[in-house]
Amino acid sequence: MATAAAVILAAGQGSRMKSNLAKVLHPLAGLEMVNHAVRNVRLAQFEEIIVVVGYQGEKVRAVLEGVTVVEQKEQLGTGHAVDQCREVLSSFDGPVLVTYGDTPLFRSETFQALLAYHQEQQAAATIVTACFADPTGYGRILRDENNQVLGVVEHKDATPEQRLISEINTGTYMFQSKLLFHYLAQITPENAQAEYYLPDVLPLMIADGHRVAGFILDDPTESMGINDRIQLAEAEALLRDRICRYWQEQGVTIVDPQSTWIEWDCEIGQDTVIYPGCLIQKGSRIGENCRIGPNCRLSGAVVHSGAVLEYTVVVDRTVGQDERILPFSFLTK
């Protein structure tokens, strides 16, 4: 059995997206939202990955590879969703991450650090927290004078003093598996939505003397959830900046990162220069010392070293070494 497991909740419809497509299937940087979560968990070396599907479950299942898929037939809350994994994890007693298919910005390094912190703290549960300048609407983390987590208070239930707390609950957690399922069996749907809420296990753990820790994110934007098209565009911009920065660190000159969009699963060689207005899509392979742009779109393109492209579209075609493509060309199969 795995030494660490992860549960990714991806059962919701996402009605605020106003789409016929399940929210977690909307693409970001050329990859479905849910697969960003899967990739980040996998890169963090969680061996057992479980994805909980529901709305458009067959479509979500179709884009997933190398994970265990369980179905939440009725959407009865986050606690109920995690409980669908009870059988899969019945023989597992290690740490289990619970995160979401619509929070695609977590870095794999963050999940690795979270796992190490959870084990170091010997906690029953570790809440991933973030500090926001404006925490309105979020559950606040309550700590004692020794900085130990006492619990979480929802914004609507918080006192004026508690609302001044800037540390919030992101909704992502690490649990000890056996304890998680022990307490999930005890929570009830006694709330306005008549749903089983995952955070309801925390006060039960604390009341029984178990340690609940808080892991504060260095970068609060990692916890961003996507609920509508506005947040989708904001997340895309954050990923664009990350990806451009990565390639700059590999020796690629990007003249204007804000107007340059590079998707996942591309390759770009050293000393290549990318001019403003370029879209480099999934599967493109660019060699060294190329000049790409301005205003080029590459999709599944193979561009050999030394090539020069301006105002050009290349789709599933190869550009030869040192080849210069005439401006306003459209190369496709």
Residues labelled catalytic? 16
Strands in 198-312 per DSSP E:
212-216, 253-254, 261-262, 267-268, 273-274, 279-281, 285-286, 291-292, 297-299, 302-303, 308-309
Taking CA atoms, 256 is separated from 22, 222, 233, 244, in Å, by: 33, 24, 18, 10
Phi, psi of 113 (to 5 degrees): -65, -40
Smallest Cα–Cα separation from 99: which of 87, 110, 88?
110
Query: Residue 34's closest CA among 122, 106, 100?
Result: 100
DSSP E strand stretches across 180-277:
212-216, 253-254, 261-262, 267-268, 273-274
CA–CA separation, 15 vs 2, rounded Å?
35
